[in-house]
Structure 1
């Protein structure tokens, strides 16, 4: 299954840590998704998966959720998309 990244963004603060959002389309699924990512240290991530616009089928979102849990490369792709959008800190 192919994934098309529609958009991503991430912020970082001392208080909140890293908070990222990635909107993506999963091949064969009608509705796009948005994953929200959070980490205090940019290593251990938690996430929340939602439909980004209109709701899709429960079967579809459960399939994506299962893939996120089982496929580290898929999960890393989404985390890296968010990290790449992190504004560079000028030092």
Structure 2
């Protein structure tokens, strides 16, 4: 079994290399959020946006992060996705 620090190092290595794989950003943002570092999670998701690899899952994590920082913005993000017809249940569940 790998250690959490090792997993984080691998994710950060891929993120810093400009990966277009949303899974690295989602996993790192979620790990940071779970550790109570919402601002750090937001920074990772900003990098995902810059690298144009946001998807429904990273957007739901973004809503969670924003919920932790400021609930109004999180609701705004979810409603944007709902209003354009996104059928992903994650936007409706939260």
TM superposition score category, shorter chain reference: under 0.3
TM-score (norm 2): 0.27
Higher relative contact order, structure no. (Cα contacts within 8 Å, ≥ 6 residues apart): 1
TM-score (norm 1): 0.27
